[in-house]
Amino acid sequence: MSDIDSLVSVNGVNDERVLEEDYLNDERRVTIGRWGRLKYWIRRNLLSRDRSGESWQGYGIPLYELNGEGQEVGGTVEPVATFVYRHSNKIPWRLIARFMGLSGFFVITAFLIFGAIESGPGKGPVSTSSFFDPYVRYSNGTLDFFPLTVMVSLDGFHPSLISKKYTPFLYQLYTLEYDGNVTSTPFMIPCFPSQTFPNHWSLVTGKYPRDHSIVSNVFWDADLKEEFYPGQLDPLIWANTSRPIWQVLQTAFNHKSAKEFPFKVATHMWPGSEVNFTGLPQIPAERMPYYIDAFDVNEKLEKKLDKVLGYVDIDSIEKRPQLILSYLPQVDAFGHKHGYPINDPENEKFGKFTQVLGDVDSFVEGLFEGLRERNVMNFTNIVIVSDHGMSNIEFPKHVLIWEELLDKKLIKDHIEHAYGEGPMMAITTKDSGDVNEIYQELKKSLANQGELGSNFKVYLNGNFPEHFKFNDLTNRRIAPIWIIPEPGYAVMSQKFAKKQRSNLIGNHGYDNHETDMRSLFIGAGPFFENGYVEPFENVEIFDMLCDIFGVAMGDRLGDQQDSFFYKKMLQQPLVDDFESLRGKYGNGTAYNVIWGGEEEDTSTSTSTSTSALSSTSTSSTSSVGSTSASSTSTTSAASTTAGWLDDLLHDAKELLDDLVDEIQEIAEDIQHEIK
């Protein structure tokens, strides 16, 4: 649904059933478990009292359940009652019994808690995810903070580019050797087409390109009669796309009395975030991030890191953004020009590429260290993603020229647009009746190319493979004819071919399930548990961000389901063609070390990162763990057990606080009854 359509309204709920309906019966109840239901029962029954005469809001009502005046949706605020205690000579046995029962429960619970603390695990990573609360103010010792999340996209970064030799900090994260909570996955699955703009929009909307309408890097909008391309900022084109995470968050936490957004999002060069909608009154202000940094291809990583951390350094809790999105194009930009020569130390560009990798690694390390120096890690989550991988192409050996596939007159008379979509070609005819003729001519032409032509296929919209999730005959932004090659091959225009200066180039856009197109996911911070999750589609990132900030399903502006991918821990050994991956990415990649049992490359890198982004000493590393899949699973299980214990202790302490308050109130009531 586009922003031109009306916004989804948020229905009020009865204040006495907020917890029951919005929490226990929500889809997220699968993460509550028995302990959560026990906590709820205790608070609802054991600690419940008649508060009909008090001005009181239920325990734990989320911020998004408040109306425009800051009051609970569906609730009422009654005047505070004046309690008149009448003299009675009757001994209040029921109150005394309740007092004794609660006191006994308090003593037993305290005994169990302190016993658990004394006998708890003394070694290994202890999960603190249970202590993360999206509605609580935190402090770094100097300033108050709401919870923070920083998501960084490394454009074109394939997970097999991670190695101990060239990206040591990412290696720590990906192998779970980092001293902190880290959730990772062998790889994340991008959307088709595996290109930058459609996938960055999928990351922040939770929709496939056919559904969010940024269908490729370049396309023709038949309704607006306008071309889309990277850098196109026409708000009319972007208004007809799905709502991004910054609009969802800024809307969910907004209320009428606020002078500015209570929840603020900052985007630093995130594709699609700098569109200005102020000239379109039908588009709500929340559609634009509160802070926006425009794309700057020449920006140095040092400056980028300063900018991201600068948002964290804002003194005012009201002005500081809670979600920061940043984008790094360096790896992708290199790959397009020279491919990924990571498997060929003799390649003249090998040293330069490993330096680029080192610079990006230093940026990520600098981000972690900068946040640690600011003492905000206990309430900050860091998400590292990429949009796709890259495939090396031998030029001109594995390249077809588009203009040579059809007769010139046929192109002139029947083709309206032919866009190079990375290694692919998307073709729009002047008349829909010409589609089949062009389709058949292209198939014949490719058949005449011999072995080279066998690596290319022609598809019609409606006949794409199902796993593309791209078929939509009603979407006029999707070209009716596509030429799609196998990885390692490309079709391009004569003009583009003349610009190539290397016999090894790189590109992406292929079948999103191809090994070369895999993308990266690493989540670190109090929201996450230690361990690996099953590979998942990148559209799940949107719901994860909503979960981090506690946004109810009804406030996600059209989203209907949440997969909770970050809870689906990897159970089975990973089966893959590790020999093929070794041939593409070299020896000692983190992926092959963890999942293929390959030995680490312990040799020292000869290239050094010139960024020096970490502002203090390098982060300490934990002891190197076993690289086998079985030992990884054991570590994950151990940390999960520790996380469960922490969860129990933390929540039990909360209940003790409630018990103390309840006992004090009962004691006061007893005193008044006896008087």
Q: What is the pLDDT of residue 360?
A: 98
The pTM for the full model equals 0.74
Q: What is d(CA 459, CA 192) in angstroms, rounded to the nearest whole number?
A: 14
Six token digits for residue 488: 């390692």
Q: Express as a percent the part of the chain with pLDDT over 70.
A: 69
pLDDT confidence band for 588 (50 / 70 / 90):
very high
Least confident of 40-54, 355-369, 422-436: 40-54
Q: Express as a percent the part of the chain with pLDDT over 90.
A: 64
Q: What is the pLDDT of residue 606?
A: 52
Q: What is the pLDDT of residue 494?
A: 95
| Average predicted confidence (pLDDT) for the chain | 80
Least confident of 302-306, 503-507, 630-634: 630-634
Least confident of 63-77, 125-139, 421-435, 460-474: 63-77
pLDDT of 85 > 80? The answer is: no
Q: What is the pLDDT of residue 34?
A: 46
pLDDT confidence band for 670 (50 / 70 / 90):
low
Q: Is the dihedral of CA 67, 72, 78, 82 positive or negative?
A: negative
Q: What is the pLDDT of residue 24?
A: 29
Q: Is the dihedral of CA 497, 228, 510, 475 positive or negative?
A: negative
The predicted-structure confidence for 264-292, as pLDDT tens digits, reads as follows 999 999 999 999 999 999 999 999 999 99
pLDDT confidence band for 82 (50 / 70 / 90):
very low
pLDDT of 256 > 80? The answer is: no
CATH ID of 396-499, from 3.10.129.10, 2.130.10.10, 3.40.30.10, 3.30.1360.180? 3.30.1360.180
Higher-confidence residue: 663 or 277? 277
Residue 465: cis peptide before it, omega within 30 degrees of 0: no
The predicted-structure confidence for 154-198, as pLDDT tens digits, reads as follows 999 999 999 999 999 999 999 999 999 999 999 999 999 999 999
Higher-confidence residue: 253 or 356? 356
pLDDT confidence band for 113 (50 / 70 / 90):
low
Q: What is d(CA 323, CA 347) in angstroms, rounded to the nearest whole number?
A: 40
Q: What is d(CA 571, CA 365) in angstroms, rounded to the nearest whole number?
A: 29
Cβ of 278: how many Cβ atoms within 10 Å?
A: 9
pLDDT of 476 > 90? The answer is: yes
Catalytic residue among 196, 380, 429, 627: 196
pLDDT of 28 > 60? The answer is: no
List, as one string, the DSSP characters of 373-424: HTT-GGGEEEEEE-S---EEEETTTTEEEGGGSS-HHHHHHHEEEEEEETTE
Q: Are residues 308 and 326 in contact, defined by beta-carbon separation less than 8 angstroms?
A: yes
Q: What is d(CA 426, CA 420) in angstroms, rounded to the nearest whole number?
A: 7
Strands 182-184 and 531-532: parallel
- What are the residue boundaries of the structural domains of the chain, listed by start? 145-207+244-393+515-627, 396-499
Active site residue 196: yes
pLDDT of 58 > 60? The answer is: no
Q: What is the pLDDT of residue 69?
A: 40
Q: What is the pLDDT of residue 78?
A: 34
What's the half-sphere exposure (Cβ side, CA atoms, 13 Å) at 56? 11
pLDDT of 579 > 50? The answer is: yes
pLDDT confidence band for 443 (50 / 70 / 90):
very high
The predicted-structure confidence for 188-209, as pLDDT tens digits, reads as follows 999 999 999 999 999 999 999 9
Q: Are residues 533 and 457 in contact, defined by beta-carbon separation less than 8 angstroms?
A: no
The residue-averaged pLDDT of 38-52 equals 45
Higher-confidence residue: 617 or 300? 300
Cβ of 617: how many Cβ atoms within 10 Å?
A: 7
List, as one string, the DSSP characters of 481-492: EEEEEPTT-EEE
The residue-averaged pLDDT of 308-324 equals 97
Least confident of 202-211, 567-576, 649-658: 649-658
Residue bearing tokens 């951390």:
309
The residue-averaged pLDDT of 5-27 equals 30
The predicted-structure confidence for 353-376, as pLDDT tens digits, reads as follows 999 999 999 999 999 999 999 999
Higher-confidence residue: 297 or 483? 483
Q: What is the pLDDT of residue 229?
A: 96
Burial 209-236 (b: 16+ CB within 10 A, else e): bbbbbbbbbbbbbeeeeeebeeebeebe
Q: Are residues 322 and 149 in contact, defined by beta-carbon separation less than 8 angstroms?
A: yes
Phi, psi dihedral angles at 654 (to 5 degrees)? -60, -45
Q: Which fold has domain 145-207+244-393+515-627?
A: Alkaline Phosphatase, subunit A (3.40.720)
Q: Are residues 433 and 405 in contact, defined by beta-carbon separation less than 8 angstroms?
A: no
CA dihedral of residues 558, 560, 562, 563 (deg, nearest 10): -130
Least confident of 28-37, 104-113, 282-291: 28-37
Q: What is the pLDDT of residue 570?
A: 95
Q: What is the pLDDT of residue 136?
A: 85
